[in-house]
Amino acid sequence: MSPQWTTFRISDGRKPSFWQALGKQLMLVIQLLSKLRAACSSLDLLMQSLRLLVMLRIALACFFDSSTSCHS
């Protein structure tokens, strides 16, 4: 086996090719985007539940306190 082919091997570990490095960077970016999307969806879920809690609190305040304005 000629030594010039060892530069294109990942298992060699010394010098990956340009396309291998680019592929690795793309995989990292895709993983980061999927993690970011998961974090955003959980944050959105958290905001929806907080909004629901605020609405529930306003409804309970209106129910128990008739002097509170219930137009909001």
Name the pTM for this structure.
Answer: 0.44
More confident residue, 8 or 26: 26
Model confidence at 67, in pLDDT bands (50, 70, 90)?
low
Residue-wise pLDDT tens digits, 49-66: 999 999 999 888 888 776
CB 6 within 8 A of CB 12: yes
**What does the block give as tokens for 46?**
């958290």
- pLDDT at site 1: 46
Nearest 10 degrees: Cα torsion 44, 46, 52, 57: -140
**Distance between CA atoms of residues 51 and 55, nearest Å:** 6
Residue 5 pLDDT greater than 90, yes or no: no
**Distance between CA atoms of residues 16 and 48, nearest Å:** 46
- pLDDT at site 19: 85
**Residue 11: exposure state from Cβ atoms within 10 A (0-12, 13-18, ≥19):** exposed
